Structure 1
Amino acid sequence: MTEFTPDDAADLWSVADRMAYAARAAILPHFRSGGLATDNKLAGGFDPVTIADRAAETAMRDVLADLRPDDGILGEEHGSVAGTSGLTWVLDPIDGTRSFISGTPTWGVLIALSDETGPVMGMIDQPYIGERFMGGLGRCNWTGPRGKGALATKSTTDLSQAILFSTFPEIGSDDQRTAFQRVTRAVQLTRYGCDCYAYALLAAGQIDLVIEAGLNAYDVQAPIAVIEAAGGIVTQWDGTPAHDGGTTLAAATPELHAAALSLLNG
């Protein structure tokens, strides 16, 4: 794993903050603006992309070209660029574009920095609300309209007392849906539709579990860094690392993670 000095960490967080503000400026003029055009990236389904998605990623890449030209980039809208530093910025300019075009403020900007072992720092930024959740390289905190504070996951250990979030009720394949439903029957409450904001709520100690499938690296690397910094656990459904995407099981405690993992695997 790459070693970072405190000065390195401060510089990298400064770059992430610059990117987040640049993305906010590119996105907010389009949110709830009316008449926003969308393109569909998924044949036979609906995976929307808008001018706001593309403009935000371009704005973040411009920051990196100026401040971190030797780093690699993996972005949802504009692909990957190889770097020479051994570090890669993993960007999702709007995680939750379906929510964005619907006017709900549960989408967010995801920024992660990864080395060969996976994400080492991450940020979940919600521009409309003005909240920012950060984890890794010396940070584990949130800022927002009500000030700022530390992130920490809940201490829940019993599935029957747990709150579970997922973006879609029709999660994954038929087999994955059946596995997911075994967990929903065991928890106290299941809610849907929060996109990346659900992971932020887990890190902030508001909910206990997030379970999803069909994800890409840019969907999960920032949430992984934030949740792990806050004391939680994120893996795939088979318990292996989740930073390359696929399935995710994010849990507030080891006990919840083990119980949900057991149910997911029958």
Structure 2
Amino acid sequence: MTRAVSTDLLSLARTIALEAGALAFRRRAEGVNIAASKSSPEDVVTDADREVETLIRARLADARPHDGFYGEESEATAGSSGLTWVVDPIDGTVNYLYGIPHYAVSIAVVAGDPAPSSWTALAGAVINPALGELYTAAAGEGSFLNDRPLKVKTGVPLSLALAGTGFGYEAPRRLWQAAVVQGLIGEVRDIRRMGAAALDLCAVATGRLDVYYERGLQPWDHAAGALVAAEAGAKVGAFGADSEGKDLLIAAAPDLYLAFEPLLAGLFARLARE
């Protein structure tokens, strides 16, 4: 993939993210309607989720009709170009529902199968329309907050690291995740749970978080945000040589990653024995 093509893909992702973010912001101001529940009554989808994804899908189909599409709220379709757009129309839907200004539209384009273990992320855009913050990245080209280049913080010791994580919607999973937090809380500066994985990954890129980890993420949750973090210099992966995915995602500066990963692995192993 040439640099020019990656730049064109990023330009398209950026343009559509701005339009989609503006639509999500308008719908939030007008009032949010719950359309359905998904994995549990707490896991909701709003009319705006569906409307925003429909907009993104239509714009991409017009611009690149041979690409695949893999979004949270509609059926996935394969393309013939070898590229797939991985989309979360509103990441942080519960925040969006409650009027908490920490939600995002996330758009990424990947080469290969739309699976984190095998794809190559080429470009991505994550926008928080409530704050007017647009994160962008293209492979090998760095990442940006609006027009400001981003670089992950290094040299942060584990004991002074601000960690971010997320919780699932089903009670048994949340209880297990809370047990992990209990094991970590005395080892780091503090822990934040802000409710939007795409923005948490971008927070690692900006230095608002030093490390982020979560288990149970879907591809659309992290496709764009992980690229933003990686292009800012973060290591994004899981345990050992594993790549990020549903089983686990960790993002941090490489030196902090080396300290955090074995700590988290030890906690997972202990909880598995209990």
Give TM-score scaled by structure 2 length: 0.86
Moved more, 106-115 or 229-238: 229-238
C-alpha contact 1:179 1:265 (8 A) present in aligned 2: no
Indicate whether 1:57 and 2:58 are aligned: no
Q: Which residue of 2 aligns with 1:111?
A: 107
CA separation in 2, counterparts of 1:256 and 1:171?
Answer: 30
Moved more, 40-49 or 159-168: 40-49
Shift of 1:18: 2.3
CA separation in 2, counterparts of 1:45 and 1:246?
Answer: 23
User: Residue 215 of structure 2 aligns to a residue in which SS?
Assistant: strand
Q: Which residue of 1 aligns with 2:165?
A: 166
User: Residue 143 of structure 2 is aligned with which of 127, 136, 140?
Assistant: 140
Shift of 1:202: 1.0
CA separation in 1, counterparts of 2:104 and 2:135?
Answer: 10
Indicate whether 1:92 and 2:83 are aligned: no
Structure-to-structure mapping, 1:1-266, within 5 angstroms: 4-34=1-31, 36-42=32-38, 44-116=40-112, 117-118=118-119, 119-137=121-139, 138-143=141-146, 148-168=147-167, 172=173, 175-195=176-196, 196-237=198-239, 239-242=241-244, 244-251=245-252, 253-266=253-266
User: Residue 122 of structure 1 aligns to a residue in which SS?
Assistant: strand
User: Residue 217 of structure 2 aligns to a residue in which SS?
Assistant: strand
C-alpha contact 1:40 1:46 (8 A) present in aligned 2: no
Shift of 1:176: 4.9
Q: Which structure shows the bigger proportion of residues in strand conformation?
A: 1
Q: 1:50 to 1:174 in 2, by over 3 A?
A: closer
C-alpha contact 1:172 1:213 (8 A) present in aligned 2: no
C-alpha contact 1:18 1:63 (8 A) present in aligned 2: no
User: Residue 250 of structure 1 aligns to a residue in which SS?
Assistant: strand
Moved more, 170-179 or 155-164: 170-179
CA separation in 2, counterparts of 1:237 and 1:41?
Answer: 32
Shift of 1:206: 2.2
Deviations 1:129-157 (A, max 9, x none): 111111223242111xxxx3111111134
CA separation in 1, counterparts of 2:179 and 2:39?
Answer: 25
Moved more, 212-221 or 129-138: 129-138
C-alpha contact 1:72 1:84 (8 A) present in aligned 2: yes
C-alpha contact 1:156 1:208 (8 A) present in aligned 2: no
Q: Which residue of 1 aligns with 2:271?
A: none
C-alpha contact 1:220 1:245 (8 A) present in aligned 2: no
Aligned length: 256
User: Residue 216 of structure 2 aligns to a residue in which SS?
Assistant: strand
C-alpha contact 2:20 2:105 (8 A) present in aligned 1: yes
Shift of 1:5: 1.9
Shift of 1:175: 5.0
Q: 1:175 to 1:26 in 2, by over 3 A?
A: closer
Identity %: 32
CA separation in 1, counterparts of 2:64 and 2:231?
Answer: 24
Deviations 1:50-106 (A, max 9, x none): 111111111111111111111111000012110011111100000000000111111
Flag structure 2 segments of 5+ consecutive residues without an equivalent: 113-117, 267-274
Q: Which structure shows the bigger proportion of residues in helix conformation?
A: 2
Letter aligned with residue 51 of structure 2: A
CA separation in 2, counterparts of 1:124 and 1:171?
Answer: 30
CA separation in 1, counterparts of 2:172 and 2:242?
Answer: 19
CA separation in 1, counterparts of 2:25 and 2:176?
Answer: 39
